[in-house]
Amino acid sequence: MSEFVLIGGIACIATLALIKPAMALARKCGMTDNPLADPLKIHKTPTPCIGGLSMLGGSVVALFVGMPAIYPLIFGMVTSWIAGLIDDIGWQHRSSRNLLAKIISQLALAALMIVPIYTLGIPLVVFGASLYASYVFTLFTFVAIINAANMQDGLDGLLAGIALISGVGFFCATLAFPSPHELVGVLSVILIGTTGAFLIFNWNPAKLFMGDNGSYLVGFYLAFLLFLWGKDMQYIMSGLLMIGMPLVNELFVIVRRLSQRRSPLSADRNHIYDIIYRRVGSVRSAVLVNYAIHAMMVGAGIALLWL
């Protein structure tokens, strides 16, 4: 337990140390989210949106301490962050959102994930299917979770808090039940440390956004935790519940948009958290309601393992 506390603490401290430099870099490079550029934005002032950089730095530092030889995992984190950064830069300089380019970049990222997945030997097993089919299913699952995390990042503090609760859920599950892989506990506490530190600056009114570079990194964490956790169908279902609200929101949004004959990746303010926000009238209250729902799903995921 003390080792996990040390690793999570290092992740938290390293992330905190990198937040101010990341904010300064974002302003210098013009990496800010300007609400005047998009009518769907609800924040009031231009806000630095490269918070994922501090989370990546905290993750890498903690990994070197906790698992010194885990280079494939660092490769996956860095690649995910770069893919999100490219998406951030693209959205900064395109007058219209090129959804095809977004899909292609995510598929390319998923293809690169074959390196850490294959190296660590952790495809999400499709029962009765070949290893090749399991890898293909794993890559599509990775894209789905990356998109789910990206879609969930719509209110101050929302995705960071959701990811933190998921990290707590996976970590508690490793303490209560046999863990399929030693990395589950390590990744969980690093996710808790990095998102907890980031949330200090991301809580409403946010001083820093994680951007797509951060949401892709969070998506990588959640996807890899599922892959590491999913040794059988019971564990897979448990893991999906512990990822929780991002997947439910993604499914809700895609079905709704398709029913309206719109692209499933088109932008709007009709996510589950948007509906809650309009009902309660406060960003903080809406985020706390989402936290509560997500925490119940995470609890259900842990309880499932007792059956």
Q: Give residue 126's pLDDT.
A: 66
Q: How far apart are CA 33 and CA 153, in angstroms?
A: 13
Cα-Cα-Cα-Cα dihedral sign, residues 6, 8, 9, 15: positive
Q: Is the model's pLDDT at 180 over the cut of 80?
A: no
Residue 95 pLDDT: 41
Q: Where is pLDDT greater, at 191 or 70?
A: 191
Q: What is the mean pLDDT of residues 288-302?
A: 97
Please report which confidence band the pLDDT of residue 86 belongs to, taking 50, 70 and 90 as the band edges: confident
pLDDT at 93 over 60: no
pLDDT value, residue 222: 96
**45/286 Cα distance (integer angstroms):** 20
Write down the pLDDT at residue 100: 64
Work out the mean pLDDT of the chain and round it to a whole number. Answer: 88
CB 54, CB 22: distance < 8 Å: yes
Q: Which two tokens stand for residue 189?
A: 């506490």
What mean pLDDT comes out for the span 50-60?
Answer: 95
Average pLDDT over residues 196-204: 96
Question: Residue 125 pLDDT more than 70?
Answer: no
Please say whether the beta carbons of 224 and 184 come within 8 A: no
CA nearest 154: which of 86, 97, 82, 202? 202
**What's the DSSP call for residue 218?**
H
- What is the tens place of the pLDDT at every residue in 145-177? 999 999 999 999 999 999 999 999 999 999 988
Q: Across the chain, where does the E strand assignment appear?
A: 32-33, 47-48
pLDDT given at position 96: 42
Tell me how far apart the alpha carbons of residues 59 and 63 are, in angstroms, rounded to a whole number. Answer: 6
Q: What percent of the chain has pLDDT over 90?
A: 57
Burial class of residue 257 (count of CB atoms within 10 Å of its CB; 0-12, 13-18, 19+): middle
Q: Where are the alpha helices (DSSP H) in 94-157?
A: 99-112, 114-120, 131-152
Of the candidates 227, 206, 215, the one whose C-alpha atom is nearest the C-alpha of residue 283 is 206
pLDDT band at 242 (very low <50, low <70, confident <90, very high): very high
Alpha-carbon distance 305 to 238, whole Å?
7
pLDDT of residue 91: 61
Cα–Cα distance between 244 and 228 in angstroms, integer?
17
Q: What pLDDT score was predicted for residue 182?
A: 80
Give the residue with greater pLDDT, 232 vs 67: 232
Angle at which helix 51-66 crosses helix 71-93, to 10 degrees, equals 180
Q: What percent of the chain shows pLDDT beyond 70?
A: 93
Task: Report the DSSP beta bridge partners of residue 11.
Answer: none
Residues 6+ apart with CB under 8 A from 275: none
pLDDT at 183: 86
Tell me if 206 sits within 8 A of 24, measured CB to CB: no
The answer to whether the peptide bond before residue 246 is cis (omega within 30 degrees of 0) is no
Distances from the Cα of 182 to the Cα of 38, 46, 118, 185, 229, angstroms: 43, 41, 17, 6, 10
Contact 302, 173 (CB under 8 A): yes
Average pLDDT (176-182) is: 82
Query: Residue 215: how many CA atoms within 13 Å on its side-chain side?
Result: 27
3-state secondary structure of 32: strand
3 vs 216: which has the higher pLDDT? 216
**For residues 31 and 25, is the Cβ–Cβ distance under 8 A?**
yes
- pLDDT of 88 above 70: yes
Query: Given a cut of 80, is residue 5 above it in pLDDT?
Result: yes
User: For 261-288, what is each residue's pLDDT tens digit?
Assistant: 887 877 788 999 999 999 999 999 999 9
C-beta separation of 150 from 156 below 8 A: no
Average pLDDT in the 179-208 region? 93
